[in-house]
A and B are shown apart, each in its own frame.
Chain A
Amino acid sequence: MDIASYFNYWIVIVLMMLGFYIVIARGNLVKKLIGLNIFQTSVFILYISAGKVSDGAAPILTEGVSVYSNPLPHVLILTAIVVGIATTAVGLALVARIHEAYGTVEESQILEQDNAC
C-alpha cells in the first residue's frame, strides 16, 4: 500500500477529529457550534478530495480536455454546505435566546440554574 496516497485523507481525518473534539469537550455553546462548523467543513474536504483526479480539470466542459475531476461529490457538497450554514444559523438563534433566558452561554452554569429550581 502506498502510504503517500492516503496521507491526504488522514490529515483530513485529523481535521475532522479536531472539530469533533471542540463540539464534545467545550462547554461554551457558541464554541460548540464553531467546532461543529469545523467538523462539517472537514467532512466536505474529505468528499472533495475523493473526487479529485490527478491531472484532471474542473468539470466545466472545454474543448481539448478529456480528464475531469468527478462532479458528483461537488454537487453533494454544495448541498451539504447549505445544510451546514442553515444548522449554524438555527443553533446561533437558539444560543441568543438561551443567553436572554439564562444570562449565560456556559453549559455548566445553565445546568446549575436548571438544577437549582
Chain B
Amino acid sequence: MELLVDIALLSMLVATAVSLILVRGLVASIMLTSIYGLLSASFFVTMDAVDVAFTEAAVGAGVSPLLLLMTVALVGRVEQQPRKRHIAFPLLLVTVTGVLLIVGTLDMPPFGSADAPALQHVAPRYLQQSGEEIGIPNVVTSVLASYRAYDTLGEVLVIFTAGIAVILVLMLPGRRGSVPDDAGRQRPRNVVVNVVSKILIPFMLLFALYVQFHGEYGPGGGFQAGVIFASGIILYGLLYGLPSVCRVIPPPVVEALAALGVLLYALTGVLALLDGRPFLDYSVLATDPVTAQYLGITAIELGVGVTVASVIITIFYAFAAHLSEAQR
C-alpha cells in the first residue's frame, strides 16, 4: 500500500515537472509549481517527515505561488517563444550532472534501510536521549531548537536578510516605510469571498498561535506559525487593500518586529555567555535542565515566529506597493 502511494506520488511529481517544461505562459507555470509543492508535501508525509510536509505545504503551495503571482501581475503573464534557442548545451549540462548524480547513488545505502550509516551515528542519540535531555516528544523540534539551535538562528537570519534585501531592492524612491495613501480606488468586491474570509481571519490567527506553542508535541513551531499568521494578515490586505492593512499594522512597526524577533533569539543565546556558558546553552535559564530547555525553546521559537511573520508581511507590502504604483 505504502509503495503504491509512493509510486503514484512520484509519477505525479514527474508529470508536473514535465508539464512545467512543456507549458508556456506564466500563470499556468505558477499553478503547476503550487501543485508540485503540494505533491511534495504529501510525499514528505509518506516519508514520515511531518514537520517538513507542513512547512513545504505552507511555503511551496502558499507563500511562493503568492509571490510569483504578484510578480506576474507586475511583469505580465506571457512567456515568449524563443526565436532561436540553443538547447544542446543545457541538455549536455543536465545529462552530465544527472549521470554524476546517478553514479553518486550507486554506493548509497538502499532506500529505507534501517542500518544505514546515517542511523548508526549522531542520529541515535537524538532519538534515544532527547526525551530525557530536552523533555519534549517531537525529536525534530529538539534537534532544531536545541542541539542544532545555531543553524536555526542562521535560518532566522536568512529570512531577515531576505526581508532587508526585498525592501532594499523594491523601495520606491523617497519613501521608506511610509504608508501608501488611499487613492480612493474601490476594488470590486465579492460579497461571498468577503464574508467568508472575514470569518476565516480570526481563526487563522488563532490557529497560528496554536501551531506556535504546539511545536514541542506535534508538527509545528515558530516558522509554520509565522507563515500562517502572515497569511491571515495578507488575506486582510487582499480584501481591503494595502492602505487599510498598513493602517492596522504600519510598515515601520513590521520592520522593527522583524529585527526584534532575531534579537529575541540571539539574546536568549547571549544570556548563556553572561554566565560563562557557551552561546545558546539554555541551562542558565533555570535550575532544572529540562525546564531550562523548555524555556529556551519557547523563547527562540517565539523569535522565529515573530521574524517570519513580519518578514513575510514586509515582503507582501513591498510587492503590493509596486502593484498599486503600477496600476496608477
Identify the A interface with B (CB < 8 A): 1-2, 5-22, 24-28, 30-31, 33-35, 37-38, 41-42, 44-45, 48-54, 56-62, 67-79, 81-90, 92-97, 99-100, 105-106, 108
Contact = CB atoms under 8 A, between A and B. Distances in A.
B112 A5 contact: yes
A73 to B, nearest CB: 8
Contacts of A12: 10
B318 A93 contact: yes
Contacts of B51: 74, 78
Contacts of B140: 59-60, 71, 74-75, 78
Interface of B: 6, 10, 13-14, 17-18, 20-21, 26, 29-30, 33, 36-37, 40, 43-44, 47-52, 55-56, 59-60, 63-64, 67-68, 70-72, 74-76, 79-80, 82-83, 85, 87, 89-91, 93-94, 97-98, 101-102, 105-106, 108-114, 116, 118-119, 122-123, 126-127, 130-131, 137-140, 143-144, 148, 151-152, 154-155, 158-159, 161-162, 165-166, 169-170, 217-219, 223, 315, 318-319, 322
A100 B59 CA distance: 27
10 contacts: A30-B29, A38-B17, A54-B112, A54-B113, A61-B130, A72-B126, A74-B52, A78-B51, A88-B64, A105-B76
Contacts of A5: 110-113
A85 B159 CA distance: 9
Q: From A49, A50, A85, name the one whose CB has the most chain B CB atoms within 10 angstroms.
A: A85
A21 B91 CA distance: 7
A27 to B, nearest CB: 6
A17 B315 CA distance: 30
A11 B14 contact: yes
B169 to A, nearest CB: 4
Contact of A31 (B79, B98, B122): B79
B147 to A, nearest CB: 8
A51 B165 contact: no
A8 B111 contact: yes
A52 B111 contact: yes
A66 B51 CA distance: 19
Given A27-B85, A97-B169, A77 B122 contact: no
B59 A69 contact: no
A30 B108 contact: no
A30 B33 contact: no
B139 A22 contact: no
Given A74-B49, A86-B162, A90-B166, A24 B94 contact: yes
Given A21-B90, A25-B87, A60-B138, A52 B63 contact: no
Contacts of A62: 137
B126 A71 contact: yes
A89 B94 contact: no
Given A30-B72, A78-B52, A108-B83, A94 B118 contact: no
B49 A48 contact: yes
